[in-house]
Amino acid sequence: MTTTSDLDRVTMVVLRHLRKPVFALIIVYAIGITGMALIPGTGADGEPESMSLFHAFYFFTYTATTTGFGEIPHVFNDVQRLWAIFCLYIGAIAWLYAIGSIIGLVQNPHFTRAVDEQRFARKVRQMTDPFVIICGFGDTGSLLARGLSDHHLQATVLDRDPERIKAFVVRDYRVKMRGLCAHPDVPRHLIDAGVTQDKCKAVVALTNEEDTNRQITIVSKLLNPAVRVISRSTSERHCKHLNSLNDVQVVNPFAVFAELLDMAIVAPRLHNLNSWLVGVPGTRLGHPLKVPCGIWILCGYGRMGKELHRRLVHHGIQVVIIDPDAKVCEPAGRIVRGFADFDTLREAGVEQAAGIVAGTDNDSDNLGILVCVRHLNSQAFMVVRQNQHENQLAFDAGRADLILQSSLTTARRILKSLISPLIQEMIEHLYDQEQKTEEVVNRLQATMGEQAPHLFRIGITPEEASAVMEYMEEGKPLLLSDLIRDPNNLEGTLPCVPLVIRRGEEIRMLPDDNEAIIHGDGVLLCGTERSERILRATLNNPYTLHYLTTGVELPRGFVFQWIEGRRKRGG
């Protein structure tokens, strides 16, 4: 069976709906023109004269459309006028039928869908910059698209809900974003979205259905084995299956929640650094959370509750569970059966608890738990789960110590993986190095001050750093300190800190400023947008690079170069 292109699908729908109207017009025109040509008329000299086919076609053309330009080439006789009346009515009826069919075609959902798919596929094929395919434009997909736009990375969006695509179209993004209302797990739609193109950086599966995300992952790897796929999944079975595929990253928001809470308990400075780097609102670098020790109450023992319980118990924390369905044999520790309210919280010992986790899958219940805890034990460390992004204002007003929002946490983890994948490796590298973490924090504070962090990566390649490549081809060594030196003040540096260097398969965490740069290096830095612009300009400007490395400014332009040459020859 042969495949059909987008243009073929549009043509097929048009021909299917306009076939009868076109045939009707052809038959009506043929009858009218033939009759007009065969009916004998009267010439200027009174002799019988038949109308030519050209004149018959011309006359019928303006008669059928009810325009009317008179009788040509000569005055008609009664028979011709009677035939003209007949042609007028059947022509008008045929055209009304054709116009109605065209209007019906334009309103036909199959036609509009085919046209949208054709237009979408054409625009995607014209994309020249790297892009990401987002499958599913819910809360997580919307947040991810906004984050990609803020980092000037384009995306194509697939979602089967037309209301979500309508919401996507009216969003104001910094870069071009293209969306299509279609099932993202259909191979044809993934191809339209650009999965087989070289510029496709990754496919992100974020639908609300586990099986659909799994289907998207598998189909994407079959269509383009080289493409990177990131899939959201909370199913243990699906996670194990997807992790077995090559270059597939599985993001489990519940596991991420547990990891963040674990980090806040074991490595609070690192948790603070991670929150600051990903842009958590209200996070101040150098001001970590202080998670208290003691008894914790876990409200809700679902998939997320089990992940959190496992981490808390691992650190020797005594946990009391409040859940109507928890079995005695499942969790270790005390269980209070029922929904979390004033009575069950008191029974669990909320007045003496050091921390409380409101981890149900209902925002109303979690907010209710938050209010109860604030009334019963206002000093307790409060961790609350937020399920819907639209309830953000209510949760912010609750002033919980730690908010675990599924969509936002997942979007941040995926965005970090797409924009600066080495950051997560750095965080894992610093997990048990409190002293090193403090050094990094102190340097970032001294360099950045109160400015918001901006992560960016530079590559020492001919495409990204032409001036640097020419400089190193001359055999001259180049240090990190040379690149981050401020062109406006050679004694100072740009407000940016090198975090990671990737050199082939080797990864160097937190490199020293005296680290030598070589061809092919990829350097991840934390700085400001201004520092990135200056640094990228330096990478491709031989005059600025020479000035930073030697302190001597080369003459620019023919005249100054000629004067400098004369001066050297004279010396």
DSSP-derived secondary structure for 166-191: HHHHT---SS-EEEEES-TTSHHHHH
Residues whose CB falls within 8 Å of the CB of residue 173, separated by 6 or more in sequence, listed in order: 145, 146, 149
pTM, to two decimals: 0.80
Pairing of strands 454-459, 489-493: unpaired
pLDDT at site 569: 60
CATH of the domain at 479: 3.30.70.1450
Measure Cα distances from 399 to 125, 219, 254, 370 in Å: 47, 43, 21, 9
Phi, psi of 30 (to 5 degrees): -65, -45
- pLDDT (tens digit, 9 = 90+) per residue, 446-473? 998 888 898 888 999 998 999 999 989 8
**Same-domain pairing of 50 and 199:** no
Domain boundary among 45, 78, 107: 107
Same domain, 267 and 399: yes
Helix 236-243, helix 210-223: angle, nearest 10: 10
Question: How confident is the model at residue 167, as a pLDDT?
Answer: 92
Distance (Å, rounded) from C-alpha 46 to C-alpha 415?
88
Q: Are residues 337 and 414 in the same domain?
A: yes
Distances (CA, A) of 204 to 142, 248, 318, 407: 12, 10, 38, 14
Give 329's pLDDT tier (boundaries 50, 70, 90). Answer: very low
Handedness of CA 177, 403, 208, 226 (dihedral sign): positive
Whichever domain contains 59, its CATH number is 1.10.287.70
Segments forming the whole domain that contains residue 88: 3-107
538 vs 3, which has greater pLDDT? 538
Structure tokens at 80: 């011709």
**Number of compact structural domains in the chain:** 4
Residue 336 belongs to some domain of the structure: yes
Do 307 and 414 belong together in one domain?
yes
Sign for the CA dihedral angle at 258, 411, 285, 440 comes to: positive
For residue 303, the model assigns a pLDDT of 85
- CATH code of the domain containing 327: 3.40.50.720
User: Quick check: helix, strand or coil at residue 86?
Assistant: helix
Residues 237 and 280 in one domain: no
Query: pLDDT digits over 526-538, tens only?
Result: 999 899 999 999 9
pLDDT, mean of residues 519-547:
90
